[in-house]
C-alpha cells in the first residue's frame, strides 16, 4: 500500500513538473526505479533508512520513504515519518534572529553582551552577526560543557549560555577567521528566547513553520516531548544495527524534527518569499566577508558552494542516529531534501547521486574524477624516516601540531590539535605529499640554520603555513614531577589533576578515566581528546598552570591550585 501511494504521488508530481521542465531544457526526470536503486541497500526490513523528496519550481517531483522508522517493531519509513534534521536546524534559527531584527527587536550588529549581561569578555566585541556566520571566534561550547562534565539532566541550553559567558578568551579575533561553531548557534537560540519572550520552539512554530504550512516540523526542546510518527535513530557497526536514544532539548544548532516535504516548503520560500522579506532571504545567501577581505562559503545558516559547476545552497546535519542534507540549485529551481535515521548513512553522497539523476544533462565534469594520487617515485625507507617526526606551526603560539610517522611503508599524519584522526600523506614526487582537503605539503630537508620543515599549500584542518620539526624531547623524572598538581579552570568551573604514572604524565578529568600524555617538547604535552597542553611558568620558573589547546578550543587556562603527591 505504501508503494502504491508513493508511486501515485510520484507520477502526479512528475506530470505537473514536466509542464515547466521543457522550458528549462533539463530533459526528462528519472524513472522512480532509478531513484529507488540509490536506496536499495537501506530499503530492507532490518535496516534504518531515509525519507527523500525532490521538487522543481515548488512542485514535488518525487517523495518516498525507504527502510524502517523502527526496526524492532517493523515500522517502515513513509512520506509522513518525522525525522531529525540535526544541523539543518541552523537556518531556522538564523531566520528567527532576522525576523526579530526586521521587527526592530535587535540588530545583528549588536554585541552579545547586550543580551547576556554577565558576559565576561567585553574586549573581543562578539556580535550576533559573528554568531550567524561562524566567525565569532568563540570556543566550542559543547566541548567546554564536556570538559566541565556538564550534568546533561539540566537544561543544556541554559548551561551553554553560562559557560560561554564565563570565557575570558577567544580562538581568534571575531571576524578574522571562519570556524564552524555549534555552541554559537545554540546561543542564538537562547537570544531568540530572551528577546522575544517565547521559546525558540514556539517562535519558530508561530513565525516560520505555521505560515509555510510545515505542519510536521518543530524544535524538540525537551527530551520528554512526544512526537507522533517520529523515527527512531540507529548506529551501524560490524556487530549490527544498534538503536540510539533520540536527541532532544538542545536547540538552535540542532533540534528540528521534520519531513522532507516540509523542508521543500521551506526551500521554496527562498524563491517565493512568504516568511521574511526578499532582503532577508538574500542576506541569508550572501557569503560572509572576513576582516581580511576574504569571503567565506557561508551565509546565515547556509553553505554556499558549487557541485559540478552548478551553484548550491545547502546544509547537512549529523547527530547520534541522524544524518541529513537539504540542497537547492537556485539556477535550476531544483531542491532535494534527505533525512535519514542512521548516522552510518552518508547524506552528501546520496544527494549528489540524486542530483546526477535529475540534473545530469547540465552538470559539469565530476571533480576528482581522475585516479587517486599515487607515488610517482616511491620513497626509500631512509627518505620516509627522514620525514617522520613531530612538527609544529611556526606562528605563535606554535601549539598546532602535525605528527608524521611511518607505518607499513606509508607516511601517516596525525594532529592532536585537530581531530586526532590518522590520515594518509601520499607522495606525489620526491618532495611533495598529498593530504586530505586536498592540501599539498612540500618537504624541506634540514639545512644550516633550520630543522626539517613541511610547507603547506592549501588548508589541512586548521594547519597553515610552515611546520617545523621539533627535536625529540624526553623529560626527566624531575621534569615530570615538577608538573604534577591540581589545576582548576575558572572558565569551566572544573578541576583536573596532572598525575605521574610510571614514567609518564597523565591527565585526570573530574569523574573520568586517566589519559596518558605524550611529551612534544619542554612544557608541551599532548593526547587525543584534550589536544596540546602547554604548561605555564612564573617569573621564578615555577609552574603556574597550563592551557588546553585544540583547533576549536584554544588557550583554555587552568591555574595550579596545589601540588599533588
> Which tens digit of pLDDT belongs to each residue from 109-134?
999 999 999 999 999 999 999 999 99
- Separation between Cα atoms, residue 154 and residue 46, nearest integer Å: 35
- Separation between Cα atoms, residue 358 and residue 35, nearest integer Å: 10
Compute the chain's Rg from CA coordinates.
26
Residues 463 and 517 in one domain: no
Last residue of a domain, one of 470, 485, 510: 470
Residues 503 and 432 in one domain: no
Residues 462 and 526 in one domain: no
In this structure, the number of other CB atoms found within 10 A of the CB of residue 258 comes to 28
- Separation between Cα atoms, residue 438 and residue 458, nearest integer Å: 7
**pLDDT of res. 369:** 47
Kindly state the helix (H) or strand (E) to which residue 508 belongs, with its residue range: strand 504-508
Residues 6+ apart with CB under 8 A from 118: 165
Q: Beginning with the edge strand found earlier in the chain, give each strand of the sheet holding 515-516 in spatial order.
A: 515-516, 504-508, 494-501, 485-489, 553-562, 543-550, 531-537, 524-527, 518-521
Residues 459 and 441 in one domain: yes
% of the chain surpassing 90 pLDDT: 84
Question: Is the per-residue pLDDT at 565 higher than 80?
Answer: no
- Separation between Cα atoms, residue 339 and residue 69, nearest integer Å: 11
Look at residue 61 and tell me if it is in a domain: no
**Residue 224 — pLDDT band, cuts 50, 70, 90?**
confident
Residues 222 and 173 in one domain: yes
**Residue 248 — pLDDT band, cuts 50, 70, 90?**
confident
Are the beta carbons of 520 and 531 closer than 8 angstroms? no
- Separation between Cα atoms, residue 513 and residue 509, nearest integer Å: 7
Largest pairwise CA distance in the chain: 81
**Residue 152 — pLDDT band, cuts 50, 70, 90?**
low
DSSP three-state, residue 2 = helix
- Separation between Cα atoms, residue 163 and residue 160, nearest integer Å: 5
**Residue 11 — pLDDT band, cuts 50, 70, 90?**
very low
**pLDDT of res. 150:** 66
**Residue with more model confidence, 96 or 149:** 96
Q: How far apart are the first and last CA of the chain?
A: 71
Question: Is the per-residue pLDDT at 438 higher than 90?
Answer: no
The partner residues of 558 in beta bridges, in order of sequence, read 546
**Residue 12 — pLDDT band, cuts 50, 70, 90?**
very low
What letters, b where the CB count within 10 A reaches 16 and e where it falls short, cover 123-156?
A: ebebbbbbbbbbbbbbbbbbbbbbbbebeeeeeb
- Separation between Cα atoms, residue 39 and residue 144, nearest integer Å: 38
Look at residue 293 and tell me if it is in a domain: yes
In this structure, the number of other CB atoms found within 10 A of the CB of residue 178 comes to 18
Q: Minimum mean pLDDT among 76-90, 255-269, 550-564: which range?
A: 550-564
**Residue 223 — pLDDT band, cuts 50, 70, 90?**
confident
Please give the full DSSP string across 130-184, using - where no structure is assigned: HHHTT-S-PPPHHHHHHHTT--TTS-HHHHHHHHHHT----SS-TTS-----HHH
Residues 249 and 386 in one domain: no
Residues 188 and 263 in one domain: yes
The arithmetic mean of pLDDT across residues 141-161, rounded, is 87
- Minimal CA–CA distance to 391: which of 420, 408, 416, 421? 416
Residues 400 and 349 in one domain: no
The partner residues of 66 in beta bridges, in order of sequence, read 50
Calculate the alpha carbon distances from 216 to 3, 210, 320 in Å. 21, 10, 21
The partner residues of 57 in beta bridges, in order of sequence, read none
Look at residue 409 and tell me if it is in a domain: yes
The per-residue pLDDT for range 368-403, each reduced to its tens digit, is 544 454 556 789 999 999 999 999 998 877 899 999
**pLDDT of res. 82:** 98
- Separation between Cα atoms, residue 312 and residue 360, nearest integer Å: 15
The grid coordinates listed for 309 are 559547476
**Residue with more model confidence, 373 or 450:** 450
**pLDDT of res. 564:** 58
Question: Is the per-residue pLDDT at 41 higher than 80?
Answer: yes
Look at residue 46 and tell me if it is in a domain: no
Residues 304 and 444 in one domain: no
- Separation between Cα atoms, residue 118 and residue 265, nearest integer Å: 39
| Domain of 191, in residue numbers | 86-359
Sequence-ordered alpha helix ranges (H) in 269-390: 278-284, 347-359, 381-387
The arithmetic mean of pLDDT across residues 275-297, rounded, is 98
Residues 229 and 260 in one domain: yes
**pTM of structure:** 0.92
Look at residue 517 and tell me if it is in a domain: yes
Q: Is 375 exposed, middle or buried (0-12, 13-18, 19+ CB in 10 A)?
A: middle
Residues 282 and 332 in one domain: yes
**Residue 20 — pLDDT band, cuts 50, 70, 90?**
very low
Helix 90-102 to helix 182-196 angle (10° resolution) is: 40
Q: How many domains are there within the chain?
A: 3
Residues 6+ apart with CB under 8 A from 141: 160, 163, 164, 181, 182, 183, 184, 186, 187
**pLDDT of res. 404:** 97
**pLDDT of res. 96:** 98
Look at residue 295 and tell me if it is in a domain: yes
In this structure, the number of other CB atoms found within 10 A of the CB of residue 246 comes to 21
Look at residue 548 and tell me if it is in a domain: yes
Look at residue 67 and tell me if it is in a domain: no
**pLDDT of res. 153:** 59
Last residue of a domain, one of 470, 490, 514: 470
Residues 460 and 349 in one domain: no
**pLDDT of res. 479:** 95
% of the chain surpassing 70 pLDDT: 92
What letters, b where the CB count within 10 A reaches 16 and e where it falls short, cover 287-313?
A: bbeeeeeeebebbbbbbbeebbebebb
- Minimal CA–CA distance to 62: which of 318, 297, 264, 277? 264
The per-residue pLDDT for range 163-177, each reduced to its tens digit, is 999 999 999 999 999
Last residue of a domain, one of 452, 470, 488: 470
The arithmetic mean of pLDDT across residues 21-34, rounded, is 67
Residues 6+ apart with CB under 8 A from 514: 499, 501, 506, 507, 508
Q: Minimum mean pLDDT among 17-26, 88-97, 160-169: which range?
A: 17-26
**Residue with more model confidence, 562 or 447:** 447
Question: Is the per-residue pLDDT at 203 higher than 70?
Answer: yes
Helix 156-165 to helix 182-196 angle (10° resolution) is: 100
**Residue 322 sits in a domain of what CATH number?**
3.40.710.10
Q: Minimum mean pLDDT among 278-292, 326-340, 432-446: which range?
A: 432-446
**Residue 503 sits in a domain of what CATH number?**
2.40.128.50
Within 13 Å of residue 123, how many CA atoms lie on the same side as its CB?
A: 6
Amino acid at each position: 500500500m505504501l508503494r502504491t501511494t508513493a508511486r501515485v504521488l510520484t507520477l502526479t508530481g512528475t506530470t505537473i513538473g514536466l509542464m515547466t521542465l521543457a522550458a528549462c531544457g533539463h530533459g526528462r526526470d528519472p524513472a522512480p526505479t532509478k531513484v529507488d536503486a540509490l536506496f536499495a541497500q537501506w530499503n530492507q526490513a532490518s535496516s534504518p533508512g531515509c525519507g527523500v523528496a525532490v521538487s522543481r519550481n515548488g512542485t514535488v517531483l518525487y517523495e518516498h520513504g525507504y527502510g524502517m522508522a523502527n526496526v524492532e517493531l517493523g515500522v517502515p519509513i513513509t512520506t509522513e515519518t518525522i525525522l531529525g534534521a540535526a544541523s539543518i536546524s541552523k537556518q531556522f534559527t538564523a531566520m528567527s534572529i532576522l525576523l526579530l531584527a526586521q521587527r526592530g527587536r535587535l540588530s545583528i550588529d549588536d554585541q552579545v553582551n547586550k543580551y547576556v549581561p554577565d558576559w565576561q569578555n567585553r574586549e573581543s566585541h562578539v556580535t550576533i552577526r559573528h554568531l550567524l556566520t561562524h566567525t565569532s571566534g568563540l570556543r566550542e561550547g559543547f566541548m567546554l560543557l564536556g570538559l566541565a562534565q556538564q550534568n546533561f539532566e539540566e537544561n543544556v541550553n541554559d548551561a551553554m549560555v553560562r559557560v560561554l559567558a564565563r570565557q575570558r578568551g577567544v580562538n581568534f579575533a571575531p571576524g578574522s577567521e571562519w570556524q564552524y561553531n555549534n555552541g554559537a548557534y545554540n546561543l542564538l537560540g537562547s537570544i531568540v528566547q530572551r528577546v522575544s519572550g517565547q521559546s525558540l520552539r514556539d517562535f519558530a512554530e508561530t513565525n516560520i513553520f505555521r505560515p509555510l504550512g510545515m505542519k510536521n516540523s518543530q524544535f524538540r526542546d525537551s527530551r520528554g516531548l512526544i512526537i507522533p510518527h517520529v523515527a527512531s535513530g540507529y548506529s551501524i557497526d560490524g556487530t549490527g544495527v544498534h538503536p540510539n536514544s533520540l536527541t532532544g532539548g538542545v536547540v538552535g544548532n540542532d533540534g528540528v524534527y521534520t519531513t522532507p516535504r516540509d523542508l521543500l516548503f521551506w526551500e521554496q520560500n527562498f524563491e517565493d518569499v512568504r516568511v521574511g522579506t526578499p532582503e532577508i532571504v538574500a542576506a541569508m545567501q550572501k557569503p560572509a566577508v572576513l576582516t581580511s577581505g576574504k569571503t567565506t562559503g557561508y551565509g546565515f545558516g547556509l553553505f554556499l558552494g558549487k557541485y559540478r559547476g552548478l551553484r548550491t545552497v545547502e546544509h547537512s546535519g549529523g547527530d547520534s542516529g541522524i544524518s541529513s542534507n537539504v540542497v537547492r540549485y537556485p539556477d535550476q529551481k531544483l531542491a532535494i531534501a534527505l533525512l535519514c535515521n542512521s548516522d552510518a548513512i552518508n547524506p552528501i553522497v546520496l544527494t549528489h547521486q540524486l542530483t546526477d539523476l535529475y540534473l545530469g544533462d547540465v552538470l559539469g565534469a565530476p571533480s576528482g574524477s581522475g585516479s587517486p594520487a599515487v607515488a610517482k617515485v616511491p620513497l626509500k625507507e631512509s627518505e620516509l624516516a627522514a620525514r617522520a617526526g613531530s612538527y609544529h606551526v611556526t606562528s605563535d603560539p606554535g601549539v598546532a601540531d602535525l605528527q608524521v610517522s611511518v607505518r607499513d611503508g606509508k607516511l601517516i599524519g596525525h594532529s592532536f590539535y585537530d581531530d586526532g584522526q590518522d590520515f594518509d600523506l601520499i607522495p606525489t614526487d620526491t618532495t611533495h605529499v598529498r593530504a586530505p582537503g586536498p592540501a599539498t605539503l612540500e618537504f624541506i630537508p634540514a639545512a644550516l640554520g633550520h630543522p626539517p620543515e613541511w610547507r603547506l599549500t592549501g588548508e589541512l584542518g586548521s594547519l597553515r603555513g610552515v611546520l617545523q620539526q621539533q627535536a625529540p624531547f624526553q623529560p626527566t623524572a624531575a621534569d615530570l614531577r615538577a608538573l604534577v598538581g591540581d589545576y582548576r579552570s575558572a572558565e569551566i568551573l572544573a578541576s583536573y589533576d596532572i598525575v605521574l604514572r610510571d614514567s609518564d604524565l597523565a591527565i585526570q578529568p573530574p569523574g573520568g578515566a586517566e589519559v596518558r600524555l605524550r611529551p612534544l617538547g619542554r612544557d608541551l604535552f599532548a593526547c587525543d581528546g584534550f589536544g596540546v597542553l602547554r604548561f605555564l611558568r612564573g617569573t621564578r620558573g615555577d609552574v603556574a598552570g597550563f592551557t588546553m589547546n585544540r583547533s576549536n578550543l584554544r588557550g583554555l587556562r587552568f591555574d595550579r591550585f596545589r601540588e599533588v603527591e
